[in-house]
Amino acid sequence: MRAARRMGFGQIELGVFSCNGRAKRLYEKMDFVCCGTTPRAVRYKDGSYDDEIMMVKRLETT
């Protein structure tokens, strides 16, 4: 995040699958917030689907 700030980025964006609650909680502790969902973003070999949750962390101080 420090490097992104130094490079002038205003935010960092990432995606996490809804089944990965541990990762989502970690990102939330790092001040990422949910900003959208892609339903059925991935299909697994067993035929089940999972949604992708988009998250963003603003780096700007204004």
Scan for tokens 């980025």, then name that residue. 9
For tokens 């959208």, what's the residue?
Answer: 36
pLDDT band of 25, cuts 50, 70, 90: very high
Q: Which residues contact 53 (CB under 8 A, 6 or more apart)?
A: 15, 16, 17, 18, 24, 34, 36, 37
Q: How confident is the model at residue 60 (pLDDT cuts 50, 70, 90)?
A: confident
**Phi then psi dihedrals of residue 37, to 5 deg:** -140, 140
